Amino acid sequence: MTPAARLAAAIEILDAVIAAARDEGAAADTLIARYFKDRRYAGSKDRRAVRELVFDAIRTLGERPLSGRAAMIGYAKARAPDLLTLFGTDGHAPAAIHAYEAVAKKGLAPTWLAARMRQRFGKDTDRELAALIGRAPLDLRVNRLMATREDPFEWPVPVTPTPYAPNGLRASEPFNVEQSAPFIGGAVEVQDEGSQIACLATQVAPGMLVIDLCAGAGGKSLAMAATMGNDGKLIAADTNRDRLQRLTPRADRAGAAVIETLLLDPGKELEKLADYIRRADVVLVDAPCSGTGTWRRNPEARWRLTPERLTRLTALQARLLEIGAALVKPGGRLVYVVCSLLPEEGDAQIDGFLKANPNWQAAPFSLPTEQDAVGRAVLSPARHGTDGFFIGGLTPI
Ligand SMILES: C[S@@+](CC[C@H](N)C(=O)[O-])C[C@H]1O[C@@H](n2cnc3c(N)ncnc32)[C@H](O)[C@@H]1O
């Protein structure tokens, strides 16, 4: 493909990304893969170059652009002026730029979201937002059921311990982990260091009954099962059958024998969990959220969120906290986690829960990172090099 044809391809993909962000469609990575599936003429260098153009444009533009063209012209004007010379050059090039056409503006995040982030980060907001749309490192977690961080793994790139999580490793550049012997053998999993730190807050231990209420494909279930040393019981529950099904082969590979999956009915979650009411030592509520803490991985997510979607999410989070609380035994622990840095999904949820449940209080936890208050911690890419997380600990009085 010529450079101009790559540019035209990136514009077409950006059109799809913008529509998907508006209509709750697929992620940018999926859309890029779909685009190239039917275009066998594109070689690996073309794919890489187009992907880079798409993601560079997404990272440069804070508000959802009107169109792929507006996005690419805005990106080119802000960061890559050479691209402007390619418009209108050959048969495969995008049409020449007109004097009055729409141009997307450079920015870190949509104005309404930046304003909400400012409530948490104040004068540091721009630094935090810039880090949030940077590139995420590739983090691994060593599975203590099979290995230790000191084992002599062989990696194709330099890999070093992460600064905070005791079982974390960080690769100096991306590589195909899933083809590596340690991954295939179950000795490592891919997991952001922030997720690993969130699991430490649960303080799970061997012999416990643990419920991972929003287990998904089990990233945190696997980490907790390893800490439990395969002793006890971990119920990995979720309403999404596909995600839960992905957990079973991962648990087999990791040798995590304490995990039982449980598919819940949305709206009737406690029916299937009736046997565990007031019995769990630890309940983790890793709630569905806006994902503002994971923009490094899918920066187009900031074009997706609307105030209405955020309201729906916070209502679900509050409901899941109540469900989780019903499962905790006296003296047990409820840990609430979101990969979001918006105050309404973090502190406000814990404040709301404590107000509605005066028989509960904050549960202190000890983490390798600093804490905001007793039982509350916030991780951010700018400060910790992790995805953004809010972690809250609660216990019945
Ligand atoms: C942040 S993700 C969980 C990620 C997972 N814990 C991990 O570490 O990989 C949130 C999960 O909540 C699930 N979920 C949504 N509504 C739910 C509900 N009402 N009850 C239980 N799980 C729910 C979603 O299907 C999704 O898998």
In the DSSP assignment, the letter for residue 192 is -
Longest dimension (CA), the chain: 72
| Range of weakest confidence among 91-100, 102-111, 156-165, 349-358 | 91-100
* CA of residue 314 to ligand 1 center, whole Å: 14
Residue 312 has pLDDT above 90, yes or no: yes
Query: Contact, 41 vs 280, CB < 8 A?
Result: no
Residue 371 has pLDDT above 90, yes or no: no
Q: Is 84 left (phi over 0), alpha (psi -120 to 50) or beta?
A: alpha
Residue range 309-325: average pLDDT? 97
Amino acid making up residue 379: L
For the chain, count helices (H), then strands (E): 15, 12
Residue range 152-171: average pLDDT? 96
d(C-alpha 269, C-alpha 214), whole Å = 11
Atom of ligand 1 nearest to the CA of 267: 19
Residue 148 has pLDDT above 90, yes or no: yes
Does the ipTM exceed 0.90? yes
Closest CA to 73 of 35, 31, 49, 102: 102
- Residues near ligand 1 with C-beta < 6 Å? 195, 213-217, 219-220, 238-240, 243, 264, 266, 269, 286, 288
Closest CA to 322 of 378, 360, 377: 360
d(C-alpha 221, C-alpha 237), whole Å = 10
Atom of ligand 1 nearest to the CA of 284: 6
Please check if 15 is assigned to a binding site.
no
Residue range 25-30: average pLDDT? 95
d(C-alpha 282, C-alpha 220), whole Å = 13
Query: Contact, 396 vs 358, CB < 8 A?
Result: no
Task: Retrieve residue 245's tokens.
Answer: 């099904």
* CA of residue 91 to ligand 1 center, whole Å: 47
pLDDT single digits (tens) 241-290: 999 999 999 999 999 999 999 999 999 999 999 999 999 999 999 999 99
Atom of ligand 1 nearest to the CA of 323: 20
Mutate to test the pocket of ligand 1, among 193, 204, 239 (most ligand atoms within 8 A of CB): 239
DSSP state string for 77-127: HHH-GGGGGGTTSSTTSPPPPPTT---PPB-SS-HHHHHHHHHHHGGGHHH
In the set 199, 214, 289, 339, the catalytic residue is 339
* CA of residue 215 to ligand 1 center, whole Å: 5
Residue 38's pLDDT is what? 85
Going by alpha carbons, the residue nearest to atom 2 of ligand 1 is: 288
d(C-alpha 176, C-alpha 156), whole Å = 9
* CA of residue 125 to ligand 1 center, whole Å: 28
pLDDT single digits (tens) 102-145: 999 999 999 999 999 999 999 999 999 999 999 999 999 999 99
Please check if 126 is assigned to a binding site.
no
Residue 367's pLDDT is what? 95
* CA of residue 338 to ligand 1 center, whole Å: 10
Residue 373's pLDDT is what? 87
Going by alpha carbons, the residue nearest to atom 26 of ligand 1 is: 216
Asked whether the domain spanning 193-396 has the same topology as the one spanning 138-190, the reply is no
Residue 220's pLDDT is what? 98
Closest CA to 54 of 91, 88, 28, 78: 28
Domain boundaries, the chain: 3-107, 138-190, 193-396
Residue 42's pLDDT is what? 87
Residue 391's pLDDT is what? 98
Residue 55's pLDDT is what? 97
Please check if 238 is assigned to a binding site.
yes
- Residue 191's CB is within 10 A of a number of other CB atoms, namely 21
Work out the mean pLDDT of the chain and round it to a whole number: 96
Going by alpha carbons, the residue nearest to atom 11 of ligand 1 is: 214
Stated pTM of the model? 0.94
pLDDT single digits (tens) 322-347: 999 999 999 999 999 999 999 999 99
Atom of ligand 1 nearest to the CA of 291: 1
Atom of ligand 1 nearest to the CA of 240: 25
Mutate to test the pocket of ligand 1, among 238, 248, 322 (most ligand atoms within 8 A of CB): 238
Q: For residue 207, give every residue at least 6 positions away whose Cβ sits within 8 Å of its Cβ, in sequence order, or none.
A: 228, 231, 232
Residue 158's pLDDT is what? 95
Residue range 184-194: average pLDDT? 97
Residue 372 has pLDDT above 90, yes or no: no
Residue 119's pLDDT is what? 92
- The fold of 138-190 is Alpha-Beta Plaits (3.30.70)
pLDDT single digits (tens) 208-254: 999 999 999 999 999 999 999 999 999 999 999 999 999 999 999 99
339 in active site: yes
**Cα–Cα separations (whole angstroms), residue 274 to 145, 324, 338, 396:** 30, 12, 25, 19
Contacts 24+ apart (CB under 8 A), 96-99: 97/73
pLDDT single digits (tens) 375-396: 999 999 999 999 999 999 999 9
Residue 40's pLDDT is what? 84
Task: Retrieve residue 11's tokens.
Answer: 């514009």
Q: Which CATH class is domain 193-396?
A: alpha beta
Query: Contact, 88 vs 96, CB < 8 A?
Result: yes
Residue 198 has pLDDT above 90, yes or no: yes
Residue 90's pLDDT is what? 79
* CA of residue 274 to ligand 1 center, whole Å: 19
